[in-house]
Amino acid sequence: MIPVTQPFLPPKSELYALLDEVYERNWLTNSGPLVNLLESEIPEFLNYNGHFSYVNNGTIALQIAIKALELKGEIITTPFSYVATTSSIAWEGCKAVFVDIEKGSCNIDPKKIEAAITPQTSAILATHVYGNPCDVEAIAAIAKKHNLKVIYDAAHCFGTTYKGKSIFEYGDVSTTSFHATKLFHTVEGGALFTNNKDLAHKINYMRNFGHNGQEDFWGIGINGKNSEFHAAMGIANLKHISTILRKRKAQWLLYRDQLCNHFNVLKLIDEPGFNYAYFPVFFDAEEELLKKKKLLEENHIYCRRYFYPSLNTLKYVDEQKKFDVSEVRSKVVLILPLYDKLSKKDQLLIIKKMLE
């Protein structure tokens, strides 16, 4: 069987050495030494100079970002993303207002954002789809003009840069996921990035119930902390991330070289800075996708319809108009297997079956 993804696992000896430290200290959570170490090592690897807060998953990161920015009313977002992007907006009592996407990049189309702004709009929450950067300059200009906050759902973006800078440098807050399916993971985990010192201070209190010492509370908070065990996995994995990124790039480029004349592939915004996190192919029609997916599964090759469905069709969002690009793209996109231990032999088999 060839799965669509598979978590990278470091050598047991490297992980166990860190877990031995946890057992010796008997300090399992509440900002332990390994969490603090990971919070220093990740920004250093990413060449990120802002404030970094490690939390227990990427969805909590989005929810804390919305809460920390004190957003109300309407938040403009993309219908082409994982469900957590929209559900976090709804969970925090705001209304998701969708804007269609660009066909090539699958990112939110900045040319359509201003038409969606109303007096109730408080922010733009855009996703860097598949690790491919949004038009951050255009979004920043719109936000400045209309006095809006910007959050980037950068769940796919570990290692992505844009014009030589970490993609996490952009927006009022950027969030990411360290879930086991991501190219860098801590089993479960996520993070918030901000260049605003006061906002970072607020985020760090919010992720720990608002605690200011044992008997005082700075303000409202939630349990967004992560544990020493998760941090240990992250520290161990970080030692191998450069190799992981190189392998992903080689696999991604092999797919593109072999398939680009037969399928539509992702339009890269800044190829030198891309992290090669996912390889989506786009069919001309949903019927073709379903037929190919069935053929692959019959050969024990498992792909994923990601993202599907278009989020404007969710039952719990307010009724929205049609979004032609997002709804069509969501029906015809298929993610091919891509992970560290995917062998070239298996990848060539996938390519062969794609071309049959």
Phi, psi of 238 (to 5 degrees): -60, -25
Chain centre to alpha carbon of residue 257: 25
Average pLDDT value for the chain: 96
Residue type, 107: N
Q: What is the pLDDT at residue 156?
A: 98
Closest CA to 277 of 230, 340, 351, 194: 340
Residues 233-252: what's their mean pLDDT? 98
Phi, psi of 204 (to 5 degrees): -65, -30
CA distance 180 to 200: 26
What are the residue ranges spanned by the domains of the chain? 12-238, 241-355
CA distance 94 to 72: 6
| pLDDT 10s digits, 294-315 | 999 999 999 999 999 999 999 8
CA distance 90 to 197: 27
With bands split at pLDDT 50, 70 and 90, how would you rate the model's confidence at 216? low
Q: What is the CATH number of domain 12-238?
A: 3.40.640.10
Q: What is the CATH number of domain 241-355?
A: 3.90.1150.10
What percentage of the chain exceeds 90 in pLDDT? 94
pLDDT above 70 (res 213): no
Q: What is the pLDDT at residue 218?
A: 75
Residues 244-257: what's their mean pLDDT? 97
Burial of 7 (0-12, 13-18, 19+ CB in 10 A): middle
3 state DSSP class of 270: coil
pTM over 0.85: yes
